[in-house]
Amino acid sequence: MWKTLSGLFVSLLLLVGLSIYEIRYVTTAMDRIRDAAIGLFHLTEERCATHEDGNALRLLWEAEKETLHIWVPHTSIENIDYHLNEALGYLYQENYEDALPKLEVIIDMTETITHSIALLPGNVF
């Protein structure tokens, strides 16, 4: 009986520990992406952003995406890819007005993903 209870306790500790690690990792990664997207958003508002500025955000996203596939649903990753590629296309054409909403969606998605994995009662129950 004690072996069973101790096994359950160890499993619970592992589950909680892994959950805390997941939340911290995803939050840190999304914060980096959000900060870069906000910077690009401000450059785009000032009409100073270039395709290379957008490419820097894409490189950061590609690097983070490699590990985020483990923790974040594929559809969320796919949506960020889609909006980021559209924003880069608009920046390439210097169409700043159309790039701004795409960047805003990326910023909002990084916040939404972070909140969706948080240990909140609505996410747990």
Q: Which of 79, 73, 35, 76 is nearest to 57 (CA)?
A: 35
CATH 1.20.120, domain 21-118, yes or no: yes
Cβ within 8 Å of residue 62, ≥6 positions away: none
Q: What is the pLDDT of residue 125?
A: 67
User: Domains of the chain: which residue ranges?
Assistant: 21-118
24-28, 48-52, 88-92, 119-123, range with the lowest pLDDT: 119-123
Sign of the torsion formed by the C-alpha atoms of 100, 113, 34 and 77:
negative
Q: Which amino acid is at 13?
A: L
Range with the poorest average pLDDT among 3-7, 71-75, 95-99: 3-7
pLDDT of residue 124: 66
Q: What is the pLDDT of residues 31-53, one digit of tens each?
A: 999 999 999 999 999 999 999 99
pLDDT of residue 120: 73
Contacts of 112 (CB under 8 A, 6+ apart): 76
Residues, the chain, total?
125
